[in-house]
């Protein structure tokens, strides 16, 4: 949510930003909110004038009563009563206008960074750089589900009986590799100065609307029936929500945290071959990183954060690339975002494994998170990035470390987390 003062003074900039995000249907919202804001400020001005008048009359009543002029005092009291009735109506209007302004402001997208490429959707995202040489071996790499099944590592049939499409059991060595990656990612982030946390896996609606747009919420979140609770789609939501309504000391910035959680999403399953694998699932596990920082430091942290994910995947022998997300691919609260994509030697293309974003002060403004500064309170900037999400990260490790005999070489940094196991051998 952008600052209403900025919108009031720069409506053309806000409208151009909407056009750059290819959301022309929202252009009218700018004019609507300006008109409502004007009415709201006029109501507040009228209210302030009436409250000042009421105070003066109340003081006059006291003076008249002290001087024994009860009849005159009663006449002034009637005038005060009339003002109170008028104020009641005006305050109702103020509340209604404020509510309408906030509702509209939460639909207007955040101002994107000038460096964001302009494009309609993810097909127009821009490759920035590659890390590691993408290789295709001279032997066939099977579909990841087939590789895992030969290791007796996955059971989607049973998960279909217990939970439906989009769920899975991981078994044996594959389950252990999955957890090893998450445990290593946790320690990797701790060693890079981030504080580890395990957050609540359910959050209230006011936190959900504080960290994401209404469109995202409807598309992603599972709601608990009969409760004001949603299952988290990423731990970023509850981690940022931790600071809701809080005033942070300036000296405590930056706040750097890394969190583990299961994640739940209304993913629409793809058809055919991919549906029986682990690309699109309703439940997965993730190590996340979040930062709250000074506004002037947010871009530096953005670059540090996505590079941490690059280095992590390179330690697992996975070539990756960085893509700048174009304007049409940015969620409404985001200022700038990039994807880290892992190389798939089977598909001979890259696929997304991490997403890094800076959201400016949009989340802190919505959630009322402020910093106590020397010249008053202000909103910190918030950032988030995937450290690793499994099973997508698991697929990348399996494919890039697959051997011709059907075995998988465990990346060396994961050996201690695998009890010293260096190679996973097929059982079938």
* Residues 229-281: tens digit of each pLDDT: 999 999 999 999 999 999 999 999 999 999 999 999 887 544 443 456 787 88
Cα–Cα distance, 128 to 114 (Å, whole number): 16
Please list the alpha-helical segments (H only) found in 106-231.
Answer: 144-150, 156-162, 172-191, 205-211, 214-220
Vertex 319: Cα angle to 317 and 323 (nearest 5): 145
Q: Are residues 71 and 159 in the same domain?
A: no
pLDDT value of residue 270: 42
Cα–Cα distance, 7 to 10 (Å, whole number): 5
Q: Are residues 51 and 138 in the same domain?
A: no
Residue 331 has pLDDT above 60, yes or no: yes
Is 111 among the domain residues? no
Is 116 among the domain residues? no
Q: Are residues 288 and 335 in the same domain?
A: yes
SS3 67: coil
State which of 105, 135, 159 marks the end of a domain.
105
Spatial CB neighbours of 217, under 8 Å, sequence gap ≥ 6: 208, 209, 230
Position 69 confidence tier, pLDDT thresholds 50, 70, 90: confident
Residue 218 has pLDDT above 80, yes or no: no
Residue that has been written with the tokens 């950032």 in this structure: 383
Spatial CB neighbours of 243, under 8 Å, sequence gap ≥ 6: 255, 292, 364, 367, 369
pLDDT value of residue 334: 96
Higher pLDDT among residues 221 and 398, named by residue: 398
Cα–Cα distance, 202 to 197 (Å, whole number): 15
Give the alpha-carbon dihedral of 275, 280, 286, 289, to 10 degrees: 150
Q: Are residues 258 and 401 in the same domain?
A: yes
Residue 61 has pLDDT above 80, yes or no: no
Q: Are residues 276 and 390 in the same domain?
A: yes
Pairing of strands 247-249, 370-373: parallel
What's the mean pLDDT in 285-304?
A: 97
Position 50 confidence tier, pLDDT thresholds 50, 70, 90: confident
Give the alpha-carbon dihedral of 269, 272, 273, 274, to 10 degrees: -20
For residue 313, the number of C-alpha atoms closer than 13 Å in the C-beta half-sphere is 36
Position 401 confidence tier, pLDDT thresholds 50, 70, 90: very high
Higher pLDDT among residues 259 and 53, named by residue: 259
pLDDT value of residue 390: 86
Is 328 among the domain residues? yes
Q: Mean pLDDT over all residues of the chain? A: 92
Residue that has been written with the tokens 């174009």 in this structure: 326
Is 47 among the domain residues? yes
Q: What is the b/e burial string over 390-424, where b = at least 16 CB atoms within 10 angstroms of the residue's CB? A: bbbbbbbbbbbbbeeebbbebbebbeebbeeeeeb
Q: Are residues 49 and 176 in the same domain?
A: no
Retrieve residue 117's tokens. Answer: 């490429």
pLDDT value of residue 240: 97
Share of the chain above pLDDT 70, in %: 97
CATH number at residue 94: 1.10.287.40
Domain count along the chain: 2
User: How many secondary structure helices (H) and strands (E) does the chain include?
Assistant: 13, 18
Spatial CB neighbours of 125, under 8 Å, sequence gap ≥ 6: 117, 119, 323, 324, 325, 326, 329, 339
pLDDT value of residue 46: 87
pLDDT value of residue 271: 43
Q: Are residues 128 and 98 in the same domain?
A: no
* Residues 83-112: tens digit of each pLDDT: 888 888 888 888 899 899 999 999 999 999
- Say if residues 169 and 353 touch (Cβ distance below 8 Å): no
Is 113 among the domain residues? no
What's the mean pLDDT in 386-414?
A: 96
Q: Are residues 84 and 214 in the same domain?
A: no
pLDDT value of residue 115: 96
Q: Are residues 77 and 127 in the same domain?
A: no
What's the mean pLDDT in 126-133?
A: 96
Cα–Cα distance, 309 to 386 (Å, whole number): 7
Retrieve residue 337's tokens. Answer: 């975002």
Position 375 confidence tier, pLDDT thresholds 50, 70, 90: confident
Q: Are residues 46 and 132 in the same domain?
A: no
**Could you tell me which residues are beta bridge partners of residue 131?**
320
Expressed as residue numbers, the domain containing 213 is 122-424
What's the mean pLDDT in 212-226?
A: 84
Is 115 among the domain residues? no
Q: Are residues 159 and 200 in the same domain?
A: yes
* Residues 163-205: tens digit of each pLDDT: 888 888 999 999 999 999 999 999 999 999 999 999 999 999 9
Is 146 among the domain residues? yes
Is 394 among the domain residues? yes
Q: Are residues 37 and 179 in the same domain?
A: no
State which of 74, 105, 136 marks the end of a domain.
105
State which of 70, 105, 140 marks the end of a domain.
105
Among candidates 350, 167, 366, 191, which has minimal Cα distance to 267? 167
CATH number at residue 385: 3.30.930.10
């Amino acid at each position: 949510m952008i600052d209403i003062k900025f919108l009031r003074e720069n409506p053309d900039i806000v409208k151009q930003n909407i056009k750059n995000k290819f959301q022309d249907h929202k252009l009218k919202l700018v004019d609507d909110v300006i008109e409502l804001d004007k009415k709201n400020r006029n109501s507040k001005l009228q209210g302030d004038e009436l409250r000042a008048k009421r105070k003066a009359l109340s003081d006059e009543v006291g003076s008249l009563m002290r001087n024994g002029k009860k009849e005159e005092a009663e006449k002034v009291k009637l005038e005060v009563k009339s003002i109170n009735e008028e104020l009641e109506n005006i305050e109702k209007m103020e509340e209604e206008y404020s509510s309408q302004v906030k509702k509209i402001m939460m639909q207007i997208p955040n101002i994107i960074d000038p460096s964001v490429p302009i494009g309609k959707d993810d097909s127009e995202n821009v490759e920035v750089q590659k890390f590691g040489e993408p290789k295709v071996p001279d032997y066939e790499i099977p579909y990841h589900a087939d590789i895992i099944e030969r290791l007796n590592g996955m059971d989607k049939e049973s998960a279909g009986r217990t939970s439906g499409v989009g769920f899975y059991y991981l078994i044996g060595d594959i389950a252990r590799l999955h957890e090893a990656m998450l445990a290593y990612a946790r320690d990797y982030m701790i060693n890079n100065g981030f504080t580890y946390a395990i957050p609540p896996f359910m959050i209230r609606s006011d936190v959900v609307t504080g960290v994401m747009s209404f469109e995202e919420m409807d598309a992603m979140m599972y709601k608990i029936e009969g409760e004001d609770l949603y299952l988290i789609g990423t731990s970023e939501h509850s981690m940022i929500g931790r600071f809701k309504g809080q005033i942070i000391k300036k000296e405590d910035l930056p706040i750097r945290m890394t969190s583990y959680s299961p994640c739940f999403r209304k993913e629409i399953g793809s058809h055919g071959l991919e549906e029986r694998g682990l690309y699109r699932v309703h439940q997965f596990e993730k190590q996340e990183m979040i930062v709250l920082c000074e506004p002037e430091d947010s871009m530096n942290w953005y670059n540090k954060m996505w590079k941490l994910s690059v280095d992590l995947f390179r330690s697992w022998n996975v070539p990756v690339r960085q893509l700048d997300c174009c304007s049409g691919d940015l969620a409404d609260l985001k200022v700038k975002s990039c994807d880290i994509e892992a190389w798939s030697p089977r598909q001979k293309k890259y696929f997304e494994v991490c997403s890094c974003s800076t959201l400016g002060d949009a989340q802190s403004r919505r959630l009322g998170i402020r910093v106590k500064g020397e010249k008053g309170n202000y909103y910190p900037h918030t950032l988030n990035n995937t450290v690793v999400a499994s099973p997508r990260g698991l697929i990348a490790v399996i494919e890039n470390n697959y051997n011709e005999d059907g075995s998988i070489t465990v990346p060396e940094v994961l050996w201690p987390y695998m009890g010293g196991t260096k190679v996973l051998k097929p059982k079938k």
